[in-house]
């Protein structure tokens, strides 16, 4: 909520006052400040923006940051180095073991495009520590030959992304790294919904199924297997259809009891929905569905009521999904 964020923001300001007195924190109620809202394009509340060098042009958006400690890291990475330079294996181990998650960039030399993109991504993911190294010893210790970004979870490597100069962009890396703040498959509930929408992946796939059914374990394993392949591109979400509090999601996707298990893809930007053509939730069917969606071949799923018989009788026509296109266009 705004109140919580406001308190965390104030705590970050208190702590940074000693460490970085040049950074000023301010808060503002823009309810009646229409000119400011328009100038800075403020659409949602609360919004946090960072103004650099006394300029009101192009402030940097601080999105998805909710804790004082993360605010502090975010600001420090914007005003100083965004990653720790690692020179020894001991130093690398210390960073990897200090937190649940850590990201290390292994490079042959520290002057290339991949390093820049890595450092830019580090600025946008204050939730976890970032280190980078060009030390041959450190690379050899982890068995890494090529320029790579490695995500460590609880001290163990869980993902290795080869970084080819000029191939990756910052947003793709940011998306990929941020997905590790969630499980491979995230069950939707009141607590996780905020986290799900904080991860900047606009494609979500949702599996609707009762979690206590006999077939659940098999379906869930298949879903998890497919999730590993599309990490960073599609976010895999599980919706328990036995949970009454999920009712609004079933309504939004028009899922009925007889439809489950059901799989849908939602694009958050366009709100376009897609239905998996196959009924069985197998690894092959899931992969084919995700692939066809990403390549733009999947057909949009327009859940629609039947066309009323008297839709054309009156001057104002009655439209439903099934006759919308033909009538309007």
Other CB atoms closer than 10 Å to residue 74's CB: what's the count?
24
Asked if 122 contacts 101 with a C-beta cutoff of 8 angstroms, the reply is: no
Higher pLDDT, 233 or 310: 233
256 and 224 within one domain = yes
Write down the mean pLDDT value for the chain: 90
Which residues are CB-contacts of 129 (< 8 A; sequence separation ≥ 6)?
84, 95, 98, 99, 102, 103
Q: How many angstroms separate the CA atoms of 265 and 130, rounded?
A: 32
Q: How many angstroms separate the CA atoms of 73 and 298, rounded?
A: 41
CATH number of the CATH domain containing 160: 3.40.30.10
Does some domain include residue 325?
Answer: no
Does some domain include residue 312?
Answer: no
Higher pLDDT, 50 or 256: 50
Structural domain span for residue 28: 1-79
Query: Whole-model pTM?
Result: 0.82
Does some domain include residue 271?
Answer: yes
137 and 42 within one domain = no
Asked if 126 contacts 65 with a C-beta cutoff of 8 angstroms, the reply is: yes
Does some domain include residue 326?
Answer: no
Does some domain include residue 311?
Answer: no
User: Is it the case that residue 168 has pLDDT exceeding 90?
Assistant: no
- 3-state SS string over 155-197? CEEEEEEECCCCCCCHHHHHHHHHHCCCCCEEECCHHHHHHHH
Q: What is the pLDDT of residue 214?
A: 93
Does some domain include residue 111?
Answer: yes
198 and 143 within one domain = no
User: Is it the case that residue 225 has pLDDT exceeding 90?
Assistant: yes
| CA quadruple 111, 114, 118, 124: dihedral sign | positive
Does some domain include residue 219?
Answer: yes
pLDDT digits (tens, 9 = 90+) for 98-144: 999 999 999 999 988 899 999 999 999 999 999 999 999 999 999 99
268 and 239 within one domain = yes
Q: What is the pLDDT of residue 165?
A: 76
Number of domains in the chain: 3
Does some domain include residue 309?
Answer: no
Residue 176 tokens read as 């990929």
58 and 36 within one domain = yes
Asked if 237 contacts 207 with a C-beta cutoff of 8 angstroms, the reply is: yes
Mean pLDDT of 227-254: 92
Q: Is 109 helix (H, G, I), strand (E, B) or coil?
A: coil
| Domain termination residue (choose one: 22, 55, 79) | 79
267 and 254 within one domain = yes
């Amino acid at each position: 909520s705004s109140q919580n964020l406001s308190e965390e923001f104030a705590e970050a300001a208190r702590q940074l006052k000693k460490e970085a007195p040049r950074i000023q924190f301010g808060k503002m109620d823009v309810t009646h400040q229409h000119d400011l809202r328009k100038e800075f394009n403020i659409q949602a509340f609360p919004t946090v923006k960072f103004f650099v060098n006394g300029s009101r042009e192009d402030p940097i958006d601080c999105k998805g940051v909710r804790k004082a400690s993360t605010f502090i890291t975010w600001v420090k990475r914007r005003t100083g180095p965004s990653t720790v330079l690692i020179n020894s294996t001991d130093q690398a181990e210390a960073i990897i073991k200090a937190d649940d998650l850590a990201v290390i960039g292994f490079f042959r030399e520290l002057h290339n495009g991949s390093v820049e993109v890595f450092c830019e991504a580090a600025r946008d993911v204050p939730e976890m520590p970032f280190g980078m190294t060009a030390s041959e010893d450190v690379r050899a210790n982890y068995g890494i030959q090529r320029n790579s970004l490695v995500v460590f979870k609880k001290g163990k490597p869980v993902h290795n992304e080869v970084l080819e100069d000029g191939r990756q962009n910052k947003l793709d890396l940011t998306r990929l790294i941020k997905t590790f703040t969630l499980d491979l498959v995230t069950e939707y509930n009141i607590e996780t919904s905020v986290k799900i929408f904080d991860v900047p992946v606009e494609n979500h796939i949702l599996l609707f199924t009762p979690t206590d059914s006999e077939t659940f374990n098999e379906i869930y394993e298949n879903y998890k297997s497919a999730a590993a392949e599309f990490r960073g591109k599609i976010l895999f979400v599980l919706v328990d259809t036995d949970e009454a509090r999920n009712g609004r999601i079933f309504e939004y996707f028009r899922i009925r009891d007889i439809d489950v298990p059901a799989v849908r893809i939602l694009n958050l930007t366009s709100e376009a929905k897609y239905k998996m053509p196959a009924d069985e939730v197998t690894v092959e069917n899931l992969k084919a569905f995700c692939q066809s969606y990403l390549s733009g071949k999947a057909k949009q799923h327009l859940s629609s009521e039947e066309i009323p018989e008297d839709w054309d009788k009156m001057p104002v026509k009655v439209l439903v999904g099934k006759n919308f296109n033909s009538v309007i266009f």
